[in-house]
Amino acid sequence: MQSTPPSVNLVFDRFKPDGGTERLALNTVEALSDHSIRIAVCAREWRGPLRENIEFIRCRPLPFGRAWRLRRFAADALPRLRARGGLVQAHIMFPGADIYRADGGAHAQWLMQRRRIQSPARQAYDAATPYHRTKLAMEAEMLSHPDLRYVICNSEMVRSDIRRHYPGCRAELVLVEPGIDLHHFHVVDSDARRQAARRALDLDADATVLLFIGTGFERKGLGTAIAALAEWGDRRAALVVVGRDRDRWRYSKLARQLGVRRQVRFVGPVNDVLPWLHAADALVHPALYEPFGLVVAEAMAAGLPVLSSPTTGAASAMVRQEHTGWLIDALDRHGYAEAMRALTSRSSQQIASQRMACEKAAAAYGLQRMSSDLMQIYRQCLHPSPKTR
């Protein structure tokens, strides 16, 4: 007798198709669809595609502040999901879940990294605000909850962070690195694609185009990227910023103050980054704290070298100095400026060799591997062995 396909309930806050975390979730859905898994998404808001294999469950508590909403969402959603049956996989702080997918890393670690760029007054404000106190409390509650079976860590960096901040966590910390559609990002005839993309996107054919992709410019290190561009001093270079941030004006002001406003182009969020990857020479991602960084894998699959930080999980795993990019501290604008100069000093043979190395490094990050890793976890949750009960 054939067993009933498992049901997985994915829990988010808001679901936006241009966010890296949500693209990860869509990749997960694609990977799991081959296994006939019944999927539901529970969130306050849905902006993703409507598909036959996805059921959307809306849960919208009244907006009485961010801290209250975090608590209320978990309190309202968990009973509804338990009544449906199946596994509850949370992508946010959600005490009571069976599986926590730590795509956002450890919030405690992010706050530590953020203090590197904050004034004492701002640090005191963050310590006093209910939102961060609530989020830290819910993180601790979730990771110590008896129902939590697995924490899916998307990088070794995240697994180390959780072990360090929450040594009492009894759930199994499992490494499942994200998968991407390698065929979608693979580039054939890269030079022709590059020129065609630049014409379509109104970029100079001979300019050095650096690509920054990310939502949340402070966390992703846009300030460092702009400062490095200014220090580099190549007036023909362009920094293209794909993504959104409510304080975008601050970065426009910074570019103007540093004399590179005409070289920095803000294009806003896009649903498909591929045309921009075709047009670029490299990805710049000096993140203060990026648990994985899906765009790093996507860029390398498209053959682009990556200038990133060791506090970016994907870069830490994939970047080999000068072969596939450069690893530089998130606040080291001098180091990023030097790496930008190194890009323009490469011979055509070095460019081709670097492109091949990047594609090879990304080849291990396909959807099939991620699917296999996830299915192993789901089977273990649904049919635990005597030792794991």
Helix extents (H) in the chain: 20-33, 66-84, 107-114, 120-128, 130-144, 156-165, 182-185, 190-200, 217-220, 222-232, 248-257, 274-279, 294-301, 313-318, 333-344, 348-362, 367-382
Q: Does any domain span residue 278?
A: yes
Tokens 């890009």 sit at which residue?
A: 343
Please indicate, yes or no, whether residues 166 and 248 belong to a single structural domain of this protein.
no
- Domain ranges, residue 167: 7-179+366-388
Please indicate, yes or no, whether residues 146 and 237 belong to a single structural domain of this protein.
no
Residue 1 pLDDT: 44
Q: Does any domain span residue 1?
A: no
pLDDT digits 0-9 by tens, 279-312: 999 999 999 999 999 999 999 999 999 999 999 9
Q: Which pTM was predicted?
A: 0.88
Please indicate, yes or no, whether residues 234 and 375 belong to a single structural domain of this protein.
no
Please indicate, yes or no, whether residues 187 and 158 belong to a single structural domain of this protein.
no
DSSP string for 75-86: HHHHHHHHHH-S
How many domains are there within the chain?
2
47 and 16 Cβ atoms separated by less than 8 Å: yes
Query: Hey, how many other C-beta atoms are within 10 angstroms of the C-beta on 182?
Result: 19
Task: Judge whether residue 47 has pLDDT over 80.
Answer: no
Residue 37 pLDDT: 74
Residue 249 pLDDT: 96
Please indicate, yes or no, whether residues 299 and 348 belong to a single structural domain of this protein.
yes
Please indicate, yes or no, whether residues 133 and 233 belong to a single structural domain of this protein.
no
Residue 16 pLDDT: 67
Please indicate, yes or no, whether residues 161 and 223 belong to a single structural domain of this protein.
no
pLDDT digits 0-9 by tens, 112-155: 999 999 999 998 888 888 999 999 999 999 999 999 999 999 99
Please indicate, yes or no, whether residues 88 and 149 belong to a single structural domain of this protein.
yes
Q: Does any domain span residue 127?
A: yes
Q: Does any domain span residue 2?
A: no
pLDDT digits 0-9 by tens, 245-267: 999 999 999 999 999 999 999 99
Across the range 364-368, mean pLDDT stands at 89
CA 126 to chain centre: 23
Q: Does any domain span residue 191?
A: yes
Q: Which residue has the higher pLDDT, 386 or 53?
A: 53
Across the range 371-387, mean pLDDT stands at 75
* CATH code where residue 238 lies: 3.40.50.2000
Please indicate, yes or no, whether residues 322 and 265 belong to a single structural domain of this protein.
yes
Please indicate, yes or no, whether residues 173 and 198 belong to a single structural domain of this protein.
no
Mean pLDDT of the chain: 90
Task: Judge whether residue 389 has pLDDT over 60.
Answer: no
Of the candidates 73, 170, 158, 71, which has an alpha carbon nearest to the alpha carbon of residue 108?
158
Please indicate, yes or no, whether residues 302 and 273 belong to a single structural domain of this protein.
yes
Q: Phi/psi zone of residue 292: left (φ > 0), alpha (ψ -120 to 50 degrees), beta?
A: alpha
Please indicate, yes or no, whether residues 238 and 335 belong to a single structural domain of this protein.
yes
